[in-house]
Amino acid sequence: MRVAFLVAPEGVEQIELTEPWKAVRDAGGTPHLLSTRGGSIQAFNHLDKADTFPVDQEVGRADVEDYDGLVLPGGVANPDFLRMDARAVAFVREFFETGKPVAVICHGSWTLVEADVVRDRRITSWPSVRTDLRNAGARWEDASVVRCEDGPNVLVSSRKPADLKDFCAAFVPEFQKVSA
């Protein structure tokens, strides 16, 4: 199981990157860090700088076919930067077009709004993103995890860091189905 983690060069909520990353590794998978620039990314603990992480590949050079699933961590700034990058948005959209599973947490769903892939889908997020998702046609729910299956597409979403245990338990099996 090879999993793409897409983040901006700065602003990702560290725990929303590291806990799903660990869950993929613990399941025998290979996480792969993609960003809009090479080098390293700067993670945050809410608004404070945290650790840096090396980028495996720039999103513009990545191929969706190389991955079994996509994780979009949150953080307030991270998805805002991603949704302004056409390559990142196209990469996300291609996961939906090819029917591969996507997992998103917290503010990460802003990138899904920009990719225009939430219409008529059930989803959850950080509460302040609720109106944006509803305006984009999504059916927002207040739950620790929402699993939405729409034809070949499976979207797993969660609200916040406190939901990470449930989030990881829900998305890892979906990604394993693709790699089996």
Contact status, residue 122 vs residue 141, Cβ threshold 8 Å: yes
Measured torsion, CA atoms of residues 58, 109, 124, 133, in degrees rounded to the nearest 10: -160
Torsion of CA 2, 24, 118, 133, to 10 degrees: -150
Active-site positions?
106-107
CATH number at residue 137: 3.40.50.880
Structure tokens given for 127: 């509460």
| Full domain range(s) for residue 152 | 2-179
How many domains are contained in the chain? 1
* Tens digit of each residue's pLDDT (9 = 90 or more) over 77-125: 999 999 999 999 999 999 999 999 999 999 999 999 999 999 999 999 9
3-state secondary structure (DSSP) of residue 54: strand
Q: Which of 28, 21, 20 has the alpha carbon at shortest distance from 1?
A: 28
User: How many whole angstroms separate alpha carbon 72 and alpha carbon 4?
Assistant: 9
pLDDT digit string, tens, across residues 143-170:
999 999 988 899 999 999 999 999 999 9
Contact 168, 114 (CB under 8 A): no
